[in-house]
Chains A and B, each alone.
Chain A
Amino acid sequence: MIRVVLPPHLRTLADIDGEIDLELNGKVTQRSLLDAVESKYPMLRGTIRDHVTQTRRPMIRFFACGEDLSHESPDAPLPHAIANGAEPFLVIGAIAGG
């Protein structure tokens, strides 16, 4: 079981309480994880990654296991603690006022 935590505004948009639980087959990467999130909650398409290029939106960050993975390759394997659900994958709205 993989755990994903979204920022509050995206939880509201997708009508989610708490964490998202995902089952993934195969390699656990940012891309496969986010593909699964968007498949389960289609209204989130375009809100975390650009609709066309699938790149991370500029003011979104990805944190896991106390590390900022935002600039890692989307196809790099995520830490084992994310893959086995020991730690959540955090989608964060960057601190930028507002």
Chain B
Amino acid sequence: MNNVRVLVGTRKGAFILTSDGARKRWKVSGPHFAGWEIYHMKGSPVDPDRIYASQTSGWFGQIIQRSDDGGKTWNTPGSNPEELQSADGTPQAESNKFVYDSSPETGKPITTHQWYDGTQHPWEFKRVWHLEPSLNDPDHVYAGVEDAAIFESKDGGKSWHELAGLRGSDTGPKWQPGAGGMCLHTILLDPQNPQRMFIAISAAGAFRTDDGGKNWKPINHGLHSQYIPDTGAEVGHCVHRIAMHPSRPDTLFMQKHWDVMRSDDAGGSWQEVSGDLPSDFGFPIDVHAHEPETIYVVPIKSDSEHYPPSGRLRVYRSRTGGNDWEALTKGLPQRNCYVNVLRDAMSVDSLEPCGVYFGTTGGQVYASADAGDTWKPIVRDLPAVLSVEVQSLP
């Protein structure tokens, strides 16, 4: 691995940051899709030049963009005249079409979910929060959407189909939106079992499939949330993020609305590992590329005060899989800092030593080329950062 590409989604466009393996000098490309919210971008593990992007707008809806040259150029899949022709000869252009599946063959009835005021509310598609390319096919990609559901495309993003067994599970009517909406924000693919996936929804909880997405079950045993009547309920937990090391897919780490948790049985049960963190509220969580028990979080003061405790931006690292944490502060602002780090805005590279990256709502993207010991900003003044993904390139 000689190069690194950092894909940054912001409130007003996408940016691509590139460096060689030293990770000292960076080139900044962008804004791409200027003025649009870019919720997430992610490259295919088997073809790093294949990148998917979720481009979204309250005015114009959802656009899926795809690059086949590492982000130099982009296209809306399926919109060329020769692609996906309908009966009358026009392109079907279904790359932006996310429709909940209610077909008799594969779908589930679109029921309702819990609304903020306790009433039931119909499912309404709003945007794609997260794109997760398959581990072995660059044309196969999953999308986590708001209102919470999972879709997949097997034709490079030209058309999308819901895996309706998740939304249609019997717990669906108990799901409710978090403050950011009822979003499916995390998709983890098990590298050792292609039939197994994990997802997480705010505020429903974590779910697992063992049959490639047909059937799903809640995996929230051991979670406790004070904001629901039954604090240990099967669903209703506001899971902010889950992370996994590819060598240990049965071990999951979770940053919840409050509490940092871990599971060693593929989500069958969870134990709290918040330990000595200054606050166990936060959004992102990630795992060191080479050390499966080294994890990172960014503590945030509280659920209403979305900034670091004491105005000091600190990443916390545990080398013991939780409970014992150390503050990483070198190069990060330690006074008057009141930014947030959102759930999809942290990532690691697979170089040696492992690089760690995160973006803030203040527009800074910080990088550490030494596993978190020291930090430097790659850029300081982007729009609010929504997501950060890193590609380690040959």
Contact = CB atoms under 8 A, between A and B. Distances in A.
Interface string A17-43: 000000000000000000000110011
A1 interface: no
Given A39-B90, A47-B96, A94 B63 contact: no
Interface of B is mostly: loop
A12 B60 CA distance: 12
Interface residues of A, number: 23
A57 B90 contact: no
Interface in B218-269: none
Contacts of B99: 51-52
Nearest to A52: B99
Nearest to A60: B59
B97 interface: yes
A47 to B, nearest CB: 4
Contacts of B36: 9
A93 interface: yes
Contacts of B94: 45, 51
A10 interface: yes
A78 to B, nearest CB: 22
Contact of A46 (B34, B35, B61): B61
A59 B61 CA distance: 10
B382 to A, nearest CB: 17
Nearest to B34: A12
B60 A9 contact: yes
Given A13-B76, A42-B93, A94 B59 contact: yes
Contacts of B57: 9
A59 B247 CA distance: 46
A7 B59 CA distance: 10
Nearest to B60: A47
Contacts of B93: 38, 42-43, 45
30 contacts: A8-B35, A9-B59, A10-B60, A13-B76, A38-B93, A42-B79, A42-B90, A43-B76, A43-B79, A43-B95, A45-B93, A45-B94, A46-B61, A46-B62, A46-B96, A46-B97, A47-B63, A47-B96, A51-B96, A52-B97, A52-B99, A57-B59, A57-B60, A57-B61, A59-B58, A59-B59, A60-B59, A60-B60, A93-B59, A96-B58
Q: Which 8 residue pairs are nearest across A and B when measured between Cβ atoms? A: A42-B93, A43-B79, A47-B60, A43-B76, A42-B91, A46-B96, A93-B59, A42-B79
